Each structure stands twice: as structure tokens, then as C-alpha cells.
Structure 1
Amino acid sequence: MSRVSSIEKDRRLIEESLPLSEISLDTIIEVGFKGLEKGKRQEYLKVFKIKPMVRGPRIRNLHTWFARRPCSLSRMLTLSSVVSSETTKDVLFNALGVKGLSIVAHKYGSGLLFYAKPDKDLVEKIVNESMKKPPTEVTVLDPMAGGGSIPLESARLGFRTIAMEYNPVAYLVLKATVEFPAKYADSGLFEETLKASKDFIRRAREELGRYYGDDTEGYIFARGVRCPFCRGLIPVQGIEPEITKDSSFRKRFLKITYDRQKKTFSVETTDEPIRSITIARRGNYIMCPYCGKWFQLRGRT
């Protein structure tokens, strides 16, 4: 009986209750690409006292790793697995770094918890109260670390962190986002990485800038083939007549015009409904819109 009572008294916060609905407002922004809808933006403002970030740079933008968990949620779950169930929501939020969102908002224009640093002093205080030891003496083990959100946030909270992963891509992401910054933070790694990144961006703009307009708001990517007879470029996949699926936006349609003389095509958007812009097909054969000859598609298009 005394053992059961002892276990019940030693329950962690994650076993009792978590403010998932509030944190989810932040995770939607972190893992999504469209930001929050109007109603959710008002809710975010009420909970976090700042404007939500529409979108911004995140680790998931470096490599699309579908198993990557939101960092804000990973931070909360990791800390909640360690601290006592008596920890209040306000204390938890402050330890996670919610107070620092105002600094983040001032720096970036709006807030995202991933950018805010945990309150290390408060984390150490509540961990000491719960575990009778500092965070550096608490080990967090993630045996299937994947994209590394849990190890990253565990390290940011100050815990001794061990991550395991056998997938080589995820392993490299872990090395770059968790291990190297922790090991080489004071050796100029950030400055060298920033320098290399700026050089990469400069070279990319020089080589690819002519393909992307300064005032462009979005891109439509399509796969295409060249006609074996006239060498005209033909868009085959990834083109649909209606390009605005969201009912809250004005309907816009894609119009493709083929220049038979130059063997090129131009694309524009229009309000005029267009039913279809598909190329004439018969099984695996298509008709060239320039010369009118049929040919067989081979391989991937």
C-alpha cells in the first residue's frame, strides 16, 4: 500500500494533464506552410499575447523529414516527462520560454516558440524540485530519434541527451542540428556556416535568378517532355485548369498558349473558366501541340 502511494505521489506532469490545445496553435505554424486561419489567429493572440508567425525558417525546411515532430511540442513533452505533476501550466509555459516570445516577436516581427529559448533557471528549479538533481544529471534517451526534434529540445532544456538512429539521412540531420552545434558552438561553427550559406545563396541567385521573378508570389511546377520530331517542350503532368482550390479565394485558372513557330508555350492566369488544358492522349501516346504528331511517352514524365 505504501509503495502504491509513493508511486502516485511521484507522478510526472505528462501523466496528469497537458495544455495540448494551446501548444497545438504553435505547432500548426511550425509544421505547416499556410499559417493559422483567422479564428485560430485570435486564439493564439489570446493565449500567447503576441501575433502568430505566418511562416518562417524551420529545420523541416532543410530536409523534408515526415517523421519530424514539432519542436515546441517535443520541448513540452520532454520537460513534462521529468517534472512533477504538481507543476502548474503557467510555470510550465514560462519554463518552455513563452515569456521569451515577446523578444522573438520584436526580432522577427511575430512569434514562434521554436525561436524562443527555454528559461534555463526556471527549468533547473522545477527539475531540482521534482528529481532532486539538476537537468545535467537527468538523461533523456530517444532510441528512435528520427528527425531529432526530441533530442534537440532535450539538449536545449539542459538535459544529458542520447539519440539513436540507423537511417543515414536522419542520422546526418541529427548530427547537423543537435551534435555539431552543441560540440562546436564556441569554435566559430555558426559564423562559418552563415558565411557558407550566404555564399550559396549568392551563387544560386547568379545561376537561377533569371528563372524566378522578384514579384512572383508562387510557382506551378510541372513535368514535361520534348517532342522527338520538332523538339518542342510539352508540359505533361502537374498542370490543372483550376489553380485556386480554397473556396475563400477568388477562382483563378491556368491558360497555356502554344507557339507553333517558336515551339514554346506561355502561361498566364485568368478569371475566365477553363475546363481542360490536357494534352491529347491515347494510352501511353500523346499528340504534340506544335507539330500534331503522335509519339510514345517513355520513362517518367
Structure 2
Amino acid sequence: MEIEELTTRDQLKTYFETGKYPTQSQFSDLIDSFTLKEDVMTNREAIILANRLASIDNAFIYYFTNNIENLKFPIVISSQDEEDQVITLEETNSLRVKQFLLGSAPYTFKTKKISEGNLKETEYYGLEYQLNQNYFIYRLFGNNLNTIPEGFEFGKLDNIGLPIQISKGDYGRRINVVNTSVKFVNKTEVSIQYRIEAAGWSDRYRDEDTVTDHYDIGDYLVFYYNADLRKTDQSIQCDIYDEDNGKLLTTGYLHAGQNQTSWNGGQIVEVRNARIECYYSAGEK
């Protein structure tokens, strides 16, 4: 009897159209070719699979969490050519978890409703993530800090990977949000962005006005500037004022001929309304 091997899906689909019926041996071979949930891969199969995975060049999220217990932190990832993908961050006991993203860039990352675990009155979760290689973004949340509501946007991903870390800490006191209004005025022709950091809090680069939602565990703001001055021979000075009384608080210098992603802009303390003014340094127009 002639033995016909069914080796591909197309062969299997068209086999019955010929009026033939698979023999028991053919069915047995077919079942043996399936990979079932309870099957344990051989070392050879595992290596083949690992090599296939290593060739994936999609963007990815990799995260680890520590001591967050039963916190559930779902993130919705949207792309132009795939349905929304939901990845839920849970306790990993400091082990790193990597998940590839469906579709292609650009991606948007938003939180769904977070299911908080059990927190003491002075305990809070700390979120840390990195949109590009130059800086991290920090947030505290939990208890009275509703700082990461449903729909919170992470920002634009400039890397192929989005690292995220969530931990829990006891701060020994109740933490409250403090707001500072920041007005940005750029009097130059150079594109300038600024970024702000505080205790347990930091934000993305921007070139528009903003209002911070930092914390009273450290009511200070540290400023950084991002600007490319390689095509100009004019240096730039960025002054920060107290908008309420006009007092000059700090000054940052952006030097001609240089490209920096973190020019030091100085620090302000306990200011509710600030104004940044960037202009060409004295003697330069």
C-alpha cells in the first residue's frame, strides 16, 4: 500500500478533496507533529525556538517589580496596524519580564484602571520608566495620590524598548501633591526644550507651558534644557524668575557650537509660579 505523507497544512486541507481518507498511521504522524501544552521541549527544540525569538526586532516592554504584592498595573499599547494590546504588570519579585509589542511604531501607552494592593497609610508605589536613553520619568501613586489615573499617557517612545520598574516604599508620612505653574518664553530662533525633576517625580521634555504635580517630600524643582547649538555661534541664557515678585532665581547657560540633552538649568525652591526666559547672551543677537 502506498503511504502518503501529510507534511504541510495545505496538503492536509486539500487531502480530503481528493476523496481519500487518512489512514490511522497518517493520523498518528500528524498528531505527533503537533505541539501540545503539556509537551516538554527537547534541548534542540528550545534552542531552535530561542534562535527564532532572537530574530524578532519588534519594540518591547521589559519590566520588573519588587514588593508590590497584589497590585495590578495594566497598560494599553496602541499601534497603527494592530488591535490594542494589554500588558498587565504584576509582582515579579525583581525578575525581569520581557514582552514584545504587536504592530509597528509609533506606539501609544496608556494605563487602564489600576487595581491597588494593600498599602499602609504611609506607603506608596513608585513608578519609573524610560522613554529614551537620556532620562527616566518618576511618579509616586497609591493611597491619597491619584497621580496615575486611568488613561495616563506615558509619552512618545524613542527607544526600541520601554523599561518599567514598580516598587513599594514606606515614606513614614502622608505625601501630598504640590503644583507649580511654569511659563516658558523662548526669544531665540533655536528649538529649546526643558524638563523638570523633583523628589520622587520627573517629567518629559517640552517646549510649552506646564503645571507640575510634584510632592511635598521635597518642594524643589531642578531644570534641564535640551538644545542643539552646533549650527550657531550665539550662546543662549535661560533665566528662571518667580512670576509672583519678578525675582531672578537661577540661570542656565547653553553654549554655542554644542549639542546637549541635559544642560543644567538650576534649581528653585518653594515657588508656585515660575517663568523661564531664554534669549541670546549679552552682546549677541
Q: What TM-score results when the alignment is normalised by the length of structure 1?
A: 0.21
Q: Between Structure 1 and Structure 2, whose CA radius of gyration is higher?
A: 2
**Greater fraction helix:** 1
Q: Which has the higher contact order (CA 8 A, sep 6+)?
A: 2
